[in-house]
Structure 1
Amino acid sequence: MYIPSKSKRFFIKKGILLIVIGIPRALMFYRFSPIWINFFSSLGVKVIVSGEEGKRILKEDSYTIPAEESCFPFKLAIIHAQTLVDKTDMIFLPRLIAIEKKGIMCPKFRGVPDIVRVITKHKTPIISETYDIGKGKKEEEKFYLKIGMRLGFSSRLVKDAYLFAKEEFKKFEKGFINRLNAYSTSELFNYPYKIQMKDKKNYEFKVGVIGHPYNLYDIDISKGVLDIIKGMGIKVIPGDKLDINNFDKKFKALHKEIYWSTGWEIVRGALYFLEESDMDGVIFITSFKCGVDAIVMEFIKHQFKKLKGKIPLLVLSFDEHTSRDGVITRLEAFYELITTKKKNSLNYN
């Protein structure tokens, strides 16, 4: 079995050895956690997710923080992983190469498992199987089969767990935008997931938000910006949850130039909001020192300028020093802008 021989943290449940696996609440946890947690849980594995404590522990001396040139989300991922060392038998940190057929992830995603191994001095084994959908559509299933079989489970059991997790992921994604506007952001990714309630509120405005999933939904990074926006009476439409695959064909040439997976996702969302929707505004949530964001930001600004203010664009950049009060001030100014624009539009019509 793919378990440390010296571990004393296994649990016995009805005569079955129960493994404890930790998952850092960081980075692509905010995209794939529904499938990850359901996959392990359906195999009988106990899953522990790190807490929402990154900003606080950044100030402690007990955790090693990566080099200062790293972006804030990357620092948080390393810290979250360290908090799991003494609580779990293994830590799940997949080596993400490509999450779709075209495009690749930021290189730092490949290095996270190795950095955690070094920082934690190999105290806890890391499950760092490579995830590369770019190699073919069967790669995702192979990814989970490798992990499950190395944990000692049969291929049949692992495949059943994978198929179950896929179905649960589909349920999670369905109606996500409504749930996002009905619940606080921090509640959305807590297992067991809230998948029933629908948003029934009436909003005066509707704003599209674009950014990497962790920038949008990790309240440690964004200071709960989505909840602040909703509190202003604005409905939030996240660009990463739009079903606009056919829209890609219109900008096929651009996709070749923007080869980062989540970078293209951000651009696609921005273009859709700009050309195909009735948004009152768009907010781009970025991380300071993110190279991908720096590239796509200039492209997005250029596209918005070409249409001469058709839709207001607000760029919010976050790092560990960003204050919530400062974010609120900028959002209040943005709210006044879209309010004035809407009034002027109504008067003109």
Structure 2
Amino acid sequence: MIVGLPGELLGFPWARELERRLEAAFPGARIRRAPARAPAAPPLSEGDACYPYKRMIRSALGLLAESDALVLPRLLRLDGHLMCPNFRALPDIVALNWRRLHGEEPPMAAPAVEVADGRDAEAAFEAVIRELRRLPGGRRAEAARAQPPRPAPGTAPPRAEDGRRRAIALVGHPYILSTPALHKGVPDLVRRAGFRVVTPEGLPFRTLDRLARDRDYYAKVLYWRGARECLGAFRHFTEVRPAAGLIYLIAFNCGVDALLRLELAALHKDLARRVPFMVLVVDEHTQHEHVATRVEAFLDIVDGTAHA
């Protein structure tokens, strides 16, 4: 059995653990994270949604065409905080497009997921596996001895970085930082310039959440998980373990990013030691050279700051 699981979701630790659980529950299955062929634009989409969301719709439709079943959890809450509302509608948009294109219901496991603690996480894993087993492909899966799970993309040990080199911190939603088509190769551009790359991937969310809680800028607490993660990461890389520079990768038309970029700019002005800071709207650039030019100019500023 081939099970589709959109790779964009694997930026979230819960989704990476879900992949390992699927490999253990269906030992004969192959997990496919991206379609072999780039799918065409879907007939129904969210016109005002951000590019990463539209890409997830395309990825899911492509995986449905190439897999026996698709796992697309309806993410409502992770780590006790609300997810972007688009994640609630993602399975519905994919199903509507599949029905329009093929005239049938998609073979898809899409239970609602609300995770605040370990017990919730276990219940959510079981719900996904239970729904998958009800699908024809899941019922055909052989009951074999579970094999040791292999690491998911993005969870392999990070490449060795020379600790003596200056670090550039990349902050953004996990699906942007972990997907090359979304981060536009920024990590490699930074490395090729002689810097090492640090991201919040290895930091526990509870640590980032605590940092965010200490400095919520607005009167109303930021309740989106993605906003709290990015705010906490900004504080970590500017105050706790300051990097030589910080790049905030965002998507055009993302409401959370539109709000948070203002908050981070305000916090940056109040820093006792101002780390060079740049906001890069990755999908505003259609050519790789455009991204490279922005990153190179920023790194020149970082170099100038170091020698000032």
Judge same fold: TM > 0.5, yes or no: yes
1:94 to 56, 73, 91: 73
Deviations 1:259-284 (A, max 9, x none): 10011000001012121223111100
Structure 2 CA distance for partners of 1:234 and 1:253, relative to 1, 3 Å: closer
2: distance between equivalents of 1:312 and 1:21? 43
Once the two structures are TM-superposed, the CA of residue 301 in structure 1 deviates from its matched residue by 0.4
Distance 2:21 2:188 in 1: 30
Partner of 2:30: 46
Once the two structures are TM-superposed, the CA of residue 208 in structure 1 deviates from its matched residue by 1.2
Q: Distance in 1 between matches of 2:163 and 2:281?
A: 29
Equivalent residues of 2:168, 2:246 under 8 A apart: yes
Q: TM-score if structure 1 supplies the norm length?
A: 0.74
Moved over 4 A (4+): 246-251, 253-256
Name the structure 2 match of 1:140.
121
Structure 2 counterpart of 1:334: 298
- Structure number with greater Rg is 1
- Once the two structures are superposed, residues 210-266 of structure 1 have per-residue CA deviations (whole angstroms, 9 ceiling, x without a partner) of 100111121111211111111111111102432474565465354561110011000
Aligned to 2:56: 77
Q: Which residue of 2 aligns with 1:319?
A: 283
The answer as to whether partners of 2:71 and 2:128 remain within 8 angstroms in 1 is no
Q: 1:130 to 1:312 in 2, by over 3 A?
A: same
SS of 2:129's partner is: helix
1:115 aligns with 2:64: no
Matched residues in 1 for 2:269 and 2:291: separation? Answer: 23
Q: Distance in 2 between matches of 1:198 and 1:250?
A: 27
CA contact (8 A) 1:23 1:47 kept: yes
Structure with larger RCO (C-alpha < 8 A, sep 6+) = 2
Cα distance, 1:201 vs structure 2: 3.3
Partner of 1:294, secondary structure, is helix
- Is residue 149 of structure 1 aligned with residue 110 of structure 2? no
Change (3 A) 1:249 1:213: closer
Task: Return the offset for 1:49.
Answer: 2.0
Provide the C-alpha distance between the structure 1 equivalents of 2:118 and 2:5, rounded to a whole number of angstroms: 25
For 1:238, the equivalent position in structure 2 comes to 199
Is this contact kept in 2: 1:21–1:46, CA < 8 A? yes
Structure 2 Cα separation of the partners of residues 247 and 37 of structure 1: 24
Structure 1 unmatched ranges of 5 or more = 1-18, 173-187, 345-349
1:104 to 73, 77, 82: 82
SS, match of residue 64 in structure 2: coil
Aligned residue in 2 for 1:261: 225
Report Cα offsets for 1:138-158 as digits up to 9, x if no partner: 1111112223234169xxxx9
Q: Does 1:221 align with 2:221?
A: no
Q: Classify the secondary structure of the residue corresponding to 2:57.
A: helix
Call closer, same or farther: CA 1:25–1:257 in 2, change over 3 Å: same
Provide structure 2 residue ranges, at least 5 long, that are not aligned to the other structure.
none
- Between the aligned partners of 1:42 and 1:204, the Cα distance in structure 2 is 40
Once the two structures are superposed, residues 20-76 of structure 1 have per-residue CA deviations (whole angstroms, 9 ceiling, x without a partner) of: 3211222x222245323221121223322224865xx5xx46x43623311000000
Structure 1 CA distance for aligned equivalents of residues 37 and 192 of structure 2: 23
Q: Report the secondary structure of 2:66's partner residue.
A: coil
Evaluate the alpha carbon distance shift between residue 109 and residue 230 of structure 1 in structure 2; reply closer, same or farther with a 3 A threshold.
same
8 Å Cα contact 1:280/1:312 also seen in 2: yes
Counterpart residue identity of residue 33, structure 2: V
Distance in 2 (CA, whole Å) between partners of 1:295 and 1:274 is: 19
Counterparts in 2 of 1:110 and 1:250: CA distance versus 1, 3 Å: closer
1:288 paired residue number? 252
Q: Which amino acid aligns with 2:17?
A: I
Q: Which amino acid aligns with 2:299?
A: Y
* SS of match in other structure, 2:19: helix
CA RMSD of aligned residues (A): 2.9
Provide the residue aligned with 1:201 in structure 2. Answer: 162
**Structure 1 residues 327 and 203: CA distance shift in structure 2, 3 A:** farther
SS in 1 for 2:286: coil
Tell me what 1:3 maps to. Answer: none
Aligned length: 289
